[in-house]
Amino acid sequence: MDFSKFEDQLGIFFKNKGLLQMAFTHRSYINENRKGTFEHNERLEFLGDAVLELICTHFLFNKYPDKTEGDLTSYRSALVNAITLSEVASKLGMNEFLLLSKGETKDTGRARQYILANTMEAFIGALFLDQGYDVTEVFIKKYILSLIDGIVANKAWLDAKSFFQEKAQEIDGITPSYTVLKETGPDHDKHFTMVVSIGREQVATGDGKSKQDAEQAAAAAGLKAKGWL
């Protein structure tokens, strides 16, 4: 895979091209290409998640000196959740460069959203290793932290599950329910897909690494679907 187009678009040129390729390599690709020398991106994802959280936390701490810990935590969650990260990844064209198995390539739904979010974290991890903290901070500020004003203005930082329940009870007089649609992965790396329903109406689905995260994602998608934001 030639990543030069992606590097040109960002204006960031990796010294170690192997790190960049690793960031885009999904575990499923390795399983189908065992003779290759590729490594999948899960270790980079682990690192990138921590780097992203630190830079976001530092930024929010300075930007909102009068906000409580709870508000800052909610703001950060809205910035680093799978929905936001996958949308940023899509806008940057990361989808074109994913190294996936043939089966994963065909799936363009929720599973792809989850893969894109993980790839974004892996890319941040690779960028941190290759270019250092300052370049990584500039990238995160430009493409992720720049979204915070819109998130705050649209109240997208609110606890989605609580807000969805409040609106459902107010408008429909019904408390929403959550059901597991799918559970995949080994015990140490579970992935859940949940559906939120109002009565018999299945409003939206969401994905996460825990049932709680998936419920929050489903509620956030439900708020958009209902036009309640």
Amino acid identity at 208: G
CA-based max dimension of the chain: 58
- Catalytic-labelled residue, pool 45, 104, 121, 137: 121
DSSP class of residue 41 equals: S
Element (H, E) at 184: strand 177-184
* 8 A C-beta contact, residue 131 and residue 11: no
- Catalytic-labelled residue, pool 45, 49, 207, 213: 49
Euclidean distance between CA atoms 48 and 46, whole angstroms: 6
Active site residue 107: no
DSSP class of residue 36 equals: S
Of 178, 181, 185, 186, nearest to 212 by C-alpha is 178
Amino acid identity at 207: D
* 8 A C-beta contact, residue 124 and residue 54: no
Euclidean distance between CA atoms 123 and 224, whole angstroms: 28
Residue with tokens 């939206």: 204
DSSP class of residue 157 equals: T
Active site residue 137: no
Of 139, 22, 164, nearest to 88 by C-alpha is 139
Which residues are identified as catalytic?
A: 49, 121
